[in-house]
Amino acid sequence: MIITSSAFGAELVVMSSVGARSVMDELGPQFERASGVVLSFRYDTAAALQRAMEDGARFDVAVLTSPVMSVLTAANKIAGADQSTFASALIAVAVKHGAAKPDISTREMFVQTLLSADKISYAKEGASGQHFQRVLKQLNLDEALRDKLLPMTGAKEIEAVADGLATLGVQLTSEILPVKGVDLVGPFPGDLQNRTELKIAVSTESKSTDLARRFIAYATSSAAAEVIRAKGMIPP
C-alpha cells in the first residue's frame, strides 16, 4: 500500500461492534503503518452504536451486525453501495480458567449445564445476549433460570466469569478468547446456534470516502482473513 500525501495524517472514525475488537486491534495498526491514515475506534454493542448514529454521531466506517446495518442503510446513514461482509462468529460459552469444562455438545447436555450453573452472565444488548434470551424461551428455561441470570452492559459479561461472579458466560467466540482468566468451552450446539454476521460499510456523510473504501478493502483482504481466523472469527 502506497502512502500518499493526501492520506498521511488523515483520520478515519470507525464505529465497531465489540465483537470485532480483537481483530481491529491488530488490523488497525497494520493499516495505519501501511497507509499513513490515523484510525479512531469507538466500540460498543451494535444496538448502542445504532442509537449513536441515529442521534448524529460522526463516523466514516461502521462494523455492525447485519440487521443493524440494514436499518441504518434504510435510514440513509450507511451507503448501500459500499458494504462488504467482514466476518462472522459463533455464540459460545466460557468458564473460569482452570474450571472443569462442561459438555455442551448436545441440546440435552447444554440444558443440563445451564441448570447446574450458579450464575450465567451475558450481554444485555449484544447480539449474543439477545439470541441467548430467545434460546432460553425456546427451551422453556427463562423462568427456571431467572434468578441465575446476570444481564450485563459494557462488555463485562466475560470478565464477570474471570472474576468469579458468574459460573458461565455467554458471548461471541471472538469476545471470549482475548479475555484473560477464562477458558472457551465451545459453541452452542446444533440448532441452538446463531452465526452472527458483521458487515463493514461507509457512512453516507463521510468526508473521506476514498480512504474509508481503502480501509474496507484492507479489512476484507486475504491477509486480513488470516487475522480474522486467528481471533476466533470466520472470514467471508
- The reply to whether 11-89+197-230 and 91-192 are identical in fold is yes
pLDDT of residue 82: 84
What is the average pLDDT across 74-92?
95
| C-alpha span between 110 and 113 (Å, rounded) | 5
Q: What topology does CATH give the domain 91-192? A: D-Maltodextrin-Binding Protein; domain 2 (3.40.190)
| C-alpha span between 199 and 115 (Å, rounded) | 35
Is 11-89+197-230 a domain of CATH 3.90.180.10? no
| C-alpha span between 121 and 104 (Å, rounded) | 17
Angle between helices 66-74 and 46-54 (to 10 degrees): 10
pLDDT category at 8 given cuts 50, 70, 90 is: low
What is the average pLDDT across 43-70?
96
Task: Name, in order, each residue with C-beta under 8 angstroms of 233's C-beta and a sequence gap of 6 or more.
Answer: 19, 20, 23, 87, 88, 89, 173, 174
Where do the structural domains in the chain lie, given as residue ranges? Answer: 11-89+197-230, 91-192
pLDDT of residue 78: 97
Task: Name, in order, each residue with C-beta under 8 angstroms of 150's C-beta and a sequence gap of 6 or more.
Answer: 119, 120, 121, 122, 157, 160, 165, 166
Task: Name, in order, each residue with C-beta under 8 angstroms of 60's C-beta and a sequence gap of 6 or more.
Answer: 12, 13, 14, 202, 203, 206, 207, 208, 211, 212
Q: Which three cell numbers stand for residue 37?
A: 491514515
CB 183 within 8 A of CB 173: no
pLDDT of residue 3: 47
Q: Which residue stretches of the chain are H helix?
A: 21-35, 46-54, 66-74, 107-116, 127-138, 157-162, 173-176, 209-219, 222-230
pTM of this prediction?
0.86
Per-residue pLDDT tens digits for 159-174: 999 999 999 999 999 9
Per-residue pLDDT tens digits for 176-199: 999 999 999 999 999 999 999 999
